[in-house]
Structure 1
Amino acid sequence: MTAIRKTLDFLYLASGVAAALCLIAILGLIVAQMVARWTGEIFPGAPDYAGYAMAAASFLAFANALNRGAHIRVSILLNAVTAKTRRALEIWCFAIAAAVAWYFTYYAYWFVYWSWKFNEVSQGQDATALWMPQSVMVIGGALMAIALTDNLFAVIFKGDHRIVRETVEDSFEG
C-alpha cells in the first residue's frame, strides 16, 4: 500500500473518530446543562456549543461514511446495467459529486475567511468567534471532496470504487 493510500485511509478514519467524539461532546454538554439546571446554576452557551458539535459531527463524518457505504446510493440502476455502462455511470456520478464538493469547499472557505476578517461572533450567550466552528465545515467538506475524488480516480484507473459496505453479517464472521 502506498504512503498516499495509507494517509488517505488514516484521514478518513480520523475524521470518523473526530465525528464520534463530537457526538460524545454533545452528550456531555446535555448532561452538564441538566446538572446545571438541577443545581440552579446557569451554563451559558451550552445549546450553542452543542449545535457547533452537531455540525462538526455531521461534516467530519461525511468522508468516513462514504467509504463505509453509509451514504445513500442508487444501486438498483447500477446493478441492472452492463459492467461497461455501470463504470461510465459511476465515473459520471463521482465526477459530478466531486465537482459539487470542491465547489462547496471553495465557497465555504471564503465564507469562513470573511467571518474571520470581519470578526463575526455568534449572537448567543457564548459570543464565539464564528470562524472557529465554521472551519470544521471547510475541513469536513474538503475531506468529502478528497474522498469523492479518490473514488473517482479508483473507478477511472482501477475499474471499481473503494466503497466497502459493512453488513451486520460481517460483524459475526470469524
Structure 2
Amino acid sequence: MANLLDKFYRFLMGLSCLSMLAAFAAIMLGVAAREFGWDVQGLDAYAGYAIAATLFLALPGTLKHGDHIRVTLVMQRLPARAQNLLEYWCLIAASALSSYLAWFACRLVWVSYATHDVSPSADASPLWIPQLAMALGCIGLAAAFVHALWAHWKGKAFFDVHAEGELAKTE
C-alpha cells in the first residue's frame, strides 16, 4: 500500500510540473499577445488556475520529501517519550485537518458542478474544472498525513529527509 501511495504522490508531482509548464506557457503567450496587439481572452485566469494547480498538486510530494516547514526546535528539547507523543498529536491533528480540507474541496467541486458555476473573468470557464486539481491535491495531502501517521505507528520512516536535511531512502 505504501508503494502505491508513493506512486500516487509522484503522479501528483508530475501533474504539478505540467501545471507549472502550463502557467509558464499562458504567461508567455500573454506577454507575446500584448507585444503583437492580440487580445487573448482569459489568459490571466488560466495562468492563475495553473499556478493554483501547481501548488495544490505538489502538497503530498513535498510533505513526503520533508519540504514542508516543521518546527523541530521544541521537539529536540523534549525527552524521547514526549517527542513521540507530540509527533502523534501533530500527525493526528494534521490528518484530521487535511481530511476536512479534502472533504471541503471535493464538496466545493460538486457544488460548482451542480450549480453550473462559471468564472467571473473573461474566460467564463466552469469552475469545477480548475477546482478538481485543488481537490486532488487536498486528497493527496490527507492521504500523505494518514500515511505518515500509519508509518509512525509502525515505527517506519515516512519522511525522505535526515535530520541534517539530506535526502534518505525509505522502505
Structure 2-normalised TM-score? Answer: 0.91
- 1:37 aligned residue (30, 34, 38): 34
Q: Residues 112-131 of structure 1, C-alpha deviation per residue, up to 9 Å, x if partnerless? A: 11110010100111110001
The counterpart of 1:66, out of the listed 63, 66, 72, is: 63
Note the aligned Cα RMSD (angstroms).
Answer: 1.6
Are 2:105 and 1:112 equivalent residues in the alignment? no
Of the structure 1 ranges 59-68 and 73-82, higher mean CA displacement relative to structure 2 is found in 73-82
**1 CA distance for matches of 2:166 and 2:71?**
22
Looking at structure 2, the residues matched to 35 and 112 of structure 1 have their Cα atoms a distance apart, in angstroms, of 33
SS in 1 for 2:93: helix
CA distance in 2, matches of 1:111, 1:15: 20
Deviation of 1:62 after TM superposition, in Å, equals: 0.5
TM-score, normalising length from structure 1? 0.90
Q: 1:24 to 1:46 in 2, by over 3 A?
A: same
Unmatched segments (≥5 aa) in structure 1: none
Distance across 2 between alignment mates of 1:168 and 1:45: 41
**Matches of 2:134 and 2:23, distance apart in 1:** 17
Give the drift of 1:83: 2.1
Give secondary structure in 2 for the equivalent of 1:81. coil
Change (3 A) 1:139 1:11: same
| Runs of at least 5 residues in structure 2 that lack an aligned partner in the other structure | none
The equivalences for 1:4-15 within 5 A come to: 4-15=1-12
Shift of 1:63: 0.3
AA in 2 matched with 1:101 = S
**Contact 2:2–2:147 (Cα < 8 Å) also in 1:** no
**Structure 2 CA distance, aligned partners of 1:88 and 1:168?**
23
Q: State the aligned residue count.
A: 166
Quote the residue 2:52 is aligned against.
55
- Deviation of 1:82 after TM superposition, in Å, equals 2.1
Cross-structure match for 2:159 = 163
